[in-house]
Structures are given as structure tokens and as C-alpha cells.
Structure 1
Amino acid sequence: MVGLIAVAVVSGAAVGLSSPGPGPSQPPANIPTADGPTPLTLTAAQLQPARPEAAVSLDWSGPSAARVNKPAEYTLTVRNTSVQFVQKVVVQVRVPADVKIAQISPAAKVVDGIYLWELGTLEAKDARNLKMTLTPAAGGELGCQAWVTFTGTAGMKVAVQEPKLEATIKAPATVAVGDEFQVSYRVMNIGNCAAESYHVLKQFSAGPFPLDCPGFGKSLGALEMDAKTETLCVKTPGEYTYQVIASADGVDAKATAKVRVIAPKLKVTVAGPAEVLVGRKATYHVTVENTGELPVKDITLARTPPAGWKPLDTRPWRVSSPAEVTICSPSCETSKESSARDVGRDLALMAGMRLRESQPRTGDTISELTPGQSAEMTFDALPTAAGAYTMFVQASGNRNATAAAECSTRVSGIPALRVELVDLVDPVEKGQTTTYEIRVTNTGTMADENVVVTCPLPEQLKFVSATGPVNHAVDDLNNCGVVRFEPVRELAPKTETVFRVTVKAVGTGDVRFKAQVNSKHLTTSVVKEESTRVFGD
């Protein structure tokens, strides 16, 4: 007869389960002992074994008797008898030395004469069969030992509570610059336990949210709320962000609100002549438009004419709007214009349009411009000198609404030369002298350049001397001669220069003295002639 011995060994268990081996039971690793921090108090319902203790059984089956040198097949059944899975299941079998093993299924490792099967994980109630064919070589009792090791698991259920923060902000989407407005925030703990070390960071800014912002620490209980309302006033338009970040026990909540601060906006244009003559009126057209989203009140227009310009007439403002039809007031109409006004009123009313009587405005003030509305006016100015000038205008209203514009105008002048020629002694006796005076005056508004005076002498006159603002020369003295003055480089407006030529009378009769003037801006020469009576033998 052959007897078979089966031994089952449990090698370990998960935290919270007692090991089947000897030794005292150890507490779970995550529950503090009396020597550590204050222990977490758990109720019986919160801390329970999730499953009963793990167990694995070994059962032999096969012939109860075997014959010498005759093979016999035996089966070792490994069964998980618990309701939970077990891991790292290892089965080992020791066979006597005088017993031969012909076949093994599944294959096993042999370590120091011991056959070893690593079965891994066995699910609850699962079983594995290990088959082997044994051939005893001698009679007697055949003793085979089998044992199993495995790792079981155990668990517990703990109700874990946590705080949960929710942040909200209530703020207007758009506000006017300089107006006070309110922003409210609310942080609520919607979790199921208190939020310790609660603090909140908040900021209203046009820039990035700071990483470090002063807050306050306290405990915020479950379903408790922290709320606050602030009154703000912004002086600069732009896009602003109000942010709230609440934190407690590593739990964060964030809320953000965008606030657009708008301001009135004016646009000014001024148009005028690109070029005008000195002493001629220049007319400028100014348009002031409200291009913003808010009405602008008490608009004043400052005009800064160039130095030396004289202000002239200013026409009244005319205010217009796309939604309005502007008509003249009856006080400034003729009978025909009044009739036309009535017809225009009727047509406008039939079209469902809104009418507004326009009154003549004086001064440079506009009471109000609504968004999209504009006003126009014209004024005159008189330039008094040539050059390049800039007309500057600036409109200003409430809420610091300002706008400026400028217009460049070149003021040009025209040179105009007036030439006068007189003889200082007339009549003159033969052999005596007389002097001719040539006076050149620029009566224009711009300087003339390279003014040249030339005097050809008649045969009855002989050159004696000459004076003037520049040097002179006399050509061809043998044939009476020509007096040539060097060019006067520039003759300014409203100035004059005088040339004098003294001659001696050498012949009698009606003598004609000529003076010829040329300049840069004269297209043809100016010729003057003076008659002198010379008498004597």
C-alpha cells in the first residue's frame, strides 16, 4: 500500500488580515499607533474586512495501491476555497528517491529534488490539476509530501470626506470711466466637511494676476459661505480682470470676470488750403465727431493760429446726426425757404424720421454730442507773412475727452518792383552836370532777388560818377558808355533801394536818359526814360 501526505501552507496576507502562521496580529500601516500622531477614529461601519480569510486546499487522487515497477497516475488538485483571489500560488512536491516520475503535466521545475509549480493567481473557487505518473522501485510505504504557499488579500472601507470650494463673481460687463461700480464675489464650501486654513486672493487689474496676494486664514465649514462686495472706480479706460482664487486644504477654486471700462472719444479734423497768398483770407473747416460709446458734453474748441496771423470771421456750429433731419429755424428763413421747410418737415414725418430745429450757435462751445454725432464749423484767418505754417485745433469735453488736429498751409508772396526815374537838375546848361536818381521799390509780399540796374548813356551826356547799394562799372567810355550796377542779391518786401548816376552835358537838345531794371522774378525788363533839356552854344 502506498500512503500520500498533503500539506497546505499559507505564506502571508494583505494588511488588515491575520497571518495563518504563528505570531501576534499587526495593526494596519495607515492607522497610527498610540506612540504616533493622534489616531483616526473609525466606526465599525467605516472599518470592516472586505472579504473572509483566504484559503487554499490540496487534494490527492489516484490508485490507493501500487505495484513495484508498474507506473500509476496520480492527480494533485489545488483549489482556492475562499471567496477572494489569491496570488503568487506556488505548489511543491517531494517524492522519495526510489520512486521514478515518468510524466508530469504541467511541467514543473526541479530544485534540490523538489518539484515546483508556480501557478500565479487563483481566482475565487478556482482549481488547478497537477498530474504525474509515479513508478515505485521497491515495496513498502510510498510517502509523497505536497505543500502550497500563496499571498492573500484583505481590505477595509473608509468613508473619506473632503471640502469642495466654489467661487463666483458678479460684476458689470461695461462701465464708464470715472464712475463707481460694485463687484461681488462669493466662495462657498459645497463639500461634506470643513475647509481648514481657508484663504482667498483677489485682484482687480489690467495686468496679470499676482502669484502672491495677501489673504486671510480661517475655517470655512461645510455649506458655509464667504462673500464680499467692493465699490471700485477706474480712471483709465481699458480691459480689466477681477479674479478670485480661494484655497483650503489643497483644494482650489477660481473665478474670473472681465470688466470693460469705456471712455468718451472725440475725433477732430481740420481742412484748409494747402497754399495761400500773403494778405489773402484762408478758410478752415473743422469737424468734431463723437466716435466713442458715451455722450460727450460741454465741448470747447481751442484754435491756435500761427504767429502773426489775424483771426477773422467764425461761422456757427452745425450739429448733425444720422438719425435726425436738421432744418433751419423760422427766424432765419425767407418766405420761400419757410415753404420749403414745411414741405421737408412733412416728408420727414411721413418717413418716420425725428426732427430737430437747429439754432445758430455762437462761440466755440457744443453742449453735447451723442455717440455717432458730429458738429461742423468754419473760420477764417489772414496770413501776414510768407512761410510754412500750421493751424492747430483742439476739442475738449467732459470725462477728459480730448482730440486735436492740425493743418499745414504754405503762405506764398509775390514780388512787385516799382521803378522811378527822375533828374535832379532840369534844364541843365551845356558843360554843367546833372544827376539821375533810380528808385526801385518792392511793393509785393515776397522778396525779389538779383535786382540789376543798367543805364546806357546818350551821346549828349558824359559819365561823371555813380552811387548805389552795390558797386558799378562803366563800359565803352569812348562811345558814351553804359553804367552797370552789380546785382542786388535780395530786395525784401516793402523796401526800396536807390541808384544815382551823375553825368556832364556835352550836347544840347532834348536828351533822353534810360534806366533798365531786371530781376529773378521779372519775365521782361522794366525800362524807364527821363527827358532833360540841355541848352547853350
Structure 2
Amino acid sequence: GGEGAGDTSGGPLRLDLDVPRRLPATAAAPLREPQPLTERAASGSARGDAFGGGAGPEGAALPAAIDRTVATGTAERVAAAPIGDGVPESRLPQLKLQKIAPEKAILGQPMIYSIVVRNVGTVAARQVVVEDEIPRGTKLEGTIPRAELAGNRLLWRLGTLDPEEEKKILVKVVPVQEGQIGSVATVSFVAEVAARTVVNAPKLKLVVEGPESARVGQEVKLRFRLSNEGTAAATGVFLRNLVPEGLAHPGGNDLEYEVGRLEPGGSETVDLTLKAARVGKAVNRTIVTADGGLSAEVTHQIVVRGLQVELTRLGPKKRLRGRPVTFTNRLHNASDMATGRLTVTEILPNGVEFQSASPGGRFDDKTRTVQWVLDDLAPDATQDLTLTVVPREGGRLPFVVTVRDEFGNSKQLDAQLEVLGIPAVGVAFDRVDAVVAVGETATVRLVVRNRGFGADTNVALSVQLPAEMKLVQAAGSAKEQTQDGVVRFDPLPRLGPGERQVFELTVRAVRPGNARLHAEVRSDRLARPVVVEETVAVFAEN
């Protein structure tokens, strides 16, 4: 639109505003940056309807082309010289000053407006001077013809303007801020006119929505909301996402999405699914760009966590063989987020017998595993899973417990149970002749047996013969030595649970009486020897 200022000469003024709806298709070549001029005359004064007659900065020729935004917004004014006594109005110069500017412009893109001065009177107008100011909110790019520049004021000294003669001034500026811009052009002696151009610009806004934390292996869904809050369409819009370390996408770490054109007030929603790949803090960076150098950027931080379930084992470290033992696997969720589905598996070693498990535990005899499935474990919650087995073999038995979430994250706990077997080593007479005549021989058989659950070592048997008997020979699993009527067998290195050893003595009765056989066994695990006795009656024939 346009507005005229008050007439400085008192002459009649006329303001006509014409805003055509269509723009000319002809495009103008850009003007060059003018030289700053201060109170210096222009170097050329060509007619304003073409560029060919003017000169650019430093005398460079300007391209010959017509401005492309002519007649989209105009303001004009007709001014006459003051009427003196006896001077008819028809003999006075009458100037028409017209300013033509585009109704709208794009921020950052050049625009051209023109000032046209025409003498519509019947006599020449002399010393014609046109003055204009650089529109607020713009940067000057160039003028044709070259202007004198004083501060933000432009001055053209056009000289004489004959009747019906017209001169055009072209001014090229670049809007640098959004809103309404304008300037006022004046002919020094009669009139001034004004024009206003509304500069429209797109304004992009980008917002990202997504989780603040995720577990390794979990999908991370981001949603980008892009909107144009400006007054002009944004073109060439692209959304670019830089995937940080700690997150992953099959397409790589530099992703781009073409939005294209986004109208004023329009919006676009873009969804992106990433995967949490590594524990730590990941900062996702998203940039939107558009034509004209527009850009906006947002970041979104995601804390990637591993499986934060603490797994502990409660129960005895040692147990007697054959005695039931109960273990507790305790799970504690140490994170601030629910775990989701958890699977707990315990592998039983050979040598133990499964007896029972807490609710939900299922034993598979083929794989020798007990498994529990938990739907969820809330933040800071604890769950106990119990298992009862019976050790059937001695030694150190290994147990392996594993907890795994639905994303493949897992933790493992290794435990051992030392199975102790208490040996029960004893000795007994298996065969003894109750009555023996003097001079006859008799057989004495002894059995050393371990009736306990543990092995014993250095098991040694000794037999004290009575005075009524003398050793003829001895046989057994170890060598013997006889001294002072005592038969001693070398120690057995090991006697396992349920094992037995047999020893036989052949003796001769040498005199009548009640012969008392005394046998004892010693070992590493026996605090004191085990003693047994047997009596044999020895008689004389006469």
C-alpha cells in the first residue's frame, strides 16, 4: 500500500493507489552493491524504463532488464508549482511522482521497487531532485541511476524534465527482518509519496518427543513435530537426524527425510525408530533446513541402561551327602523402570536330585534345568525363587543361575555346594570257630567296612592274638607284620562310602583256656579307634 506526505509547496495534490493482482513473468538480473556516496553527483542519467543507460558501482555497466515486481503495489502523487499572479495554471510545470513496490517479499531474497517522475504539465520543470530513504528493515543492494548517499537518504538530481518526459529510478534492496517495511520518496519542490511492502517469511519450529531412558536392545521411538509458524511458505525443507553412539539404525548414523514444501501454519510429523545399542548417555541431534538459509535444531538425550537386576544366592555352602538343601535366588530391580518379562534358569549339576521349587518353577529332567518366568519386576521390587535338592555325591558341585530380559540382556551367577560325607568305618568278626582243641588250627575272618557317606583315609587294622594262639598265616588287602603277638596290616590309603575289605588269619591253638581275640581299626577321620573282641574256647583232648 502507499501513503502520501503533506504538500510542501501548497500546490494541488492527487494520490492514486493501484495494486494489480498478477505479477509480470519477466525476471530481473540482480543489481550490484552500490558505492557509498556522500554529496556526490550520479555518474549517469539514463531514462528509467531500462537499465542500459545507467552505470553501476565504479562505472560498471548494469544489465539491461526490466524489474520483475513492477506494479504490484503503487502510490502516486501529482504536484504543481505554486500559482503566481497573472500566471495561468496551464503554463506551470506539473509533476507526477509514482512509487511502485511489490506487495509482499521473502525474507533474505532481493526485491526491486521503482520511482517514476513524469512531467504532465505543459512547460519544462527544472532542477528536479528526487529524494528517498532506504526502507527500514532492508539492506541496500544498488540503484539505477546511481544515487548520492547521505546516511540512509538517497538523492537523485534529475535536472530538467520536459513536458510529457518521464524518468524512472530503480532501487534494489534485501529484506533482513520480518514485518512491514517502507520508505518515503519526495520531489524536492512539490510532492512526496510513500509505499509500504509487507515482508513475509517462513519460521520453522521443530519439537522432538521420545523416552528419556531405555535398556540395551530396546526400541527407542522418536517423534518429530515440524511446523511453519511464519507468514510465507517454506520450500526445500529437509529433516536430518544424526544418530549418536549408543543408539543404532539400519540405515546408518546420518539419516535424511525430505519434507518439501510447508505452507504457513502447516505442520508435518515424522516418526523415527532407533535401537538402544550401548550403555551410557546418548544425545540425538536433529536439524531442519529450508531454502533461504532457514534452519532449526533440537537435541534429545536418552540414558541407555543395561539389565539392572541384582541376583544373589542365599543358602548353605556345605551340606552332608544325602541331606536335603534349600537355596534362594533373590532378584532385586535396582533401576527406576520396570524390567518387563524376565526368565530365570538354574542348571543342576550331576550328583543332585531335584525335589521341589517355588511356584512357577518347572524342572526339565533332560536338560537338568529349573526355569521360572516373571511377567515384570517393578522398580525397587524384590522376588525370591526357592529350590530344594538332595546331594547324592560328595565333592564340590557347581550350580549356574541366569536371569535374562526380553531384549536379550542377561546376568549370570555361579555358585558351589560342597557336599560332605561323614565316614563310618568299623570292623567286625565275620567268622570265628567257637571251640578249638589244642594243636588244631582255626580261621579268623575280619571285615573292615565304611558304612558312612564319606570316604576315609589311612584305614589300618591290627589284631592282638591271645597267649592260647599263635599265627600261622595272614591274608588281606595289605601286607602284615607280627610283633609281640600283634598282627598289624599296612594302612589302606582310602576306603570309600560302602566299601569293605576282608582280612583272614589262620591261627593254631597252643594251650587250653578262654582265648580273647582283640581287633581295632584306626583312620584319619576317627577320633579314636574302633575296637571289637571275640572269645574262642581252647581245650585239651585229655
TM-score bracket relative to the smaller structure? 0.5 to 0.7
Indicate how the Cα distance of structure 1 residues 32 and 448 shifts in structure 2: closer, same or farther if over 3 A, else same.
farther
Shift of 1:494: 0.9
Q: Deviations over 1:444-476 (max 9, x none)?
A: 111111111122332222222111112222235
Q: Which residue of 2 aligns with 1:458?
A: 466
* 1:170 alignment partner, one of 195, 198, 208: 208
Q: Which residue of 1 aligns with 2:190?
A: none
Name the SS for the 2:472 alignment partner. Answer: strand
Q: Matched residues in 2 for 1:527 and 1:200: separation?
A: 95
Q: Which residue of 2 aligns with 1:56?
A: none
* 2:435 alignment partner, one of 416, 420, 427: 427
- Tell whether the 8 Å contact from 1:463 to 1:504 is kept in structure 2 after alignment: yes
- Tell whether the 8 Å contact from 1:263 to 1:293 is kept in structure 2 after alignment: no
1:28 equivalent to 2:57? Answer yes
Q: Which residue of 2 aligns with 1:7?
A: none
Q: Which residue of 1 aligns with 2:287?
A: 245
1:232 equivalent to 2:292? Answer no
Shift of 1:487: 1.1
Q: Matched residues in 2 for 1:165 and 1:518: separation?
A: 99
Shift of 1:391: 3.8
1:271 equivalent to 2:314? Answer yes
Q: Which residue of 2 aligns with 1:160?
A: 174
Name the SS for the 1:381 alignment partner. Answer: strand
Shift of 1:414: 0.8
Shift of 1:211: 11
Indicate how the Cα distance of structure 1 residues 208 and 488 shifts in structure 2: closer, same or farther if over 3 A, else same.
closer
- Tell whether the 8 Å contact from 1:169 to 1:257 is kept in structure 2 after alignment: no
1:492 equivalent to 2:496? Answer yes
- Tell whether the 8 Å contact from 1:436 to 1:502 is kept in structure 2 after alignment: yes
The 5 Å alignment of 1:384-399 reads: 384-394=392-402
**What is the identity, as a one-letter code, of the residue corresponding to 1:245?**
I
Q: Which residue of 2 aligns with 1:283?
A: 326
Q: Which residue of 2 aligns with 1:343?
A: none
Q: Which residue of 1 aligns with 2:480?
A: 472
- Tell whether the 8 Å contact from 2:210 to 2:220 is kept in structure 1 after alignment: no
Q: Matched residues in 1 for 2:390 and 2:257: separation?
A: 70
Q: Which residue of 1 aligns with 2:181?
A: none
Q: Matched residues in 2 for 1:212 and 1:510: separation?
A: 102
Q: Matched residues in 1 for 2:211 and 2:436: separation?
A: 101
- Tell whether the 8 Å contact from 2:238 to 2:256 is kept in structure 1 after alignment: yes
Q: Which residue of 1 aligns with 2:150?
A: 51
Shift of 1:371: 3.5
Q: Deviations over 1:317-354 (max 9, x none)?
A: 8xxxxxxxxxxxxxxxxxxxxxxxxxxxxxxxxxxxxx
Q: Matched residues in 2 for 1:383 and 1:282: separation?
A: 8
Q: Matched residues in 2 for 1:385 and 1:165: separation?
A: 78
Q: Which residue of 1 aligns with 2:31?
A: none
Q: Deviations over 1:379-402 (max 9, x none)?
A: 422111222234444456666676
Q: Which residue of 2 aligns with 1:510?
A: 514
Indicate how the Cα distance of structure 1 residues 193 and 368 shifts in structure 2: closer, same or farther if over 3 A, else same.
closer
Indicate how the Cα distance of structure 1 residues 231 and 42 shifts in structure 2: closer, same or farther if over 3 A, else same.
closer
Name the SS for the 2:174 alignment partner. Answer: coil
1:184 equivalent to 2:224? Answer yes
Q: Matched residues in 2 for 1:379 and 1:158: separation?
A: 88
Alignment coverage as a number of residue pairs: 372
Q: Matched residues in 2 for 1:297 and 1:217: separation?
A: 36
Q: Which residue of 2 aligns with 1:380?
A: 388
Indicate how the Cα distance of structure 1 residues 217 and 457 shifts in structure 2: closer, same or farther if over 3 A, else same.
closer
Identical aligned residues as a percent? 21
Shift of 1:369: 4.4
Query: Larger Cα Rg: Structure 1 or Structure 2?
Result: 1
Q: Matched residues in 2 for 1:49 and 1:487: separation?
A: 127
Q: Matched residues in 1 for 2:453 and 2:287: separation?
A: 74
Structure 1 length normalisation: TM-score?
0.55
Indicate how the Cα distance of structure 1 residues 232 and 175 shifts in structure 2: closer, same or farther if over 3 A, else same.
farther
- Tell whether the 8 Å contact from 1:198 to 1:217 is kept in structure 2 after alignment: yes
Shift of 1:263: 8.8
Name the SS for the 2:173 alignment partner. Answer: coil
Alpha-carbon RMSD across the aligned residues, in angstroms, is: 4.8
**What is the identity, as a one-letter code, of the residue corresponding to 2:312?**
T
Q: Matched residues in 2 for 1:428 and 1:213: separation?
A: 106
Moved more, 517-526 or 166-175: 166-175
Indicate how the Cα distance of structure 1 residues 372 and 272 shifts in structure 2: closer, same or farther if over 3 A, else same.
same
- Tell whether the 8 Å contact from 1:189 to 1:220 is kept in structure 2 after alignment: no
Q: Matched residues in 1 for 2:316 and 2:60: separation?
A: 94
Name the SS for the 1:473 alignment partner. Answer: strand
The 5 Å alignment of 1:77-476 reads: 159-161=173-175, 166-174=204-212, 181=221, 183-186=223-226, 188=228, 199-207=238-246, 213=254, 215=256, 227-232=268-273, 234=275, 240-247=282-289, 252-259=295-302, 266-293=309-336, 295=338, 301-314=344-357, 316=359, 369-394=377-402, 405-476=413-484
**What is the identity, as a one-letter code, of the residue corresponding to 2:210?**
P
Q: Deviations over 1:348-376 (max 9, x none)?
A: xxxxxxxxxxxxxxx95656544444443
- Tell whether the 8 Å contact from 1:302 to 1:364 is kept in structure 2 after alignment: yes
Shift of 1:36: 12
Q: Matched residues in 1 for 2:427 and 2:321: separation?
A: 22
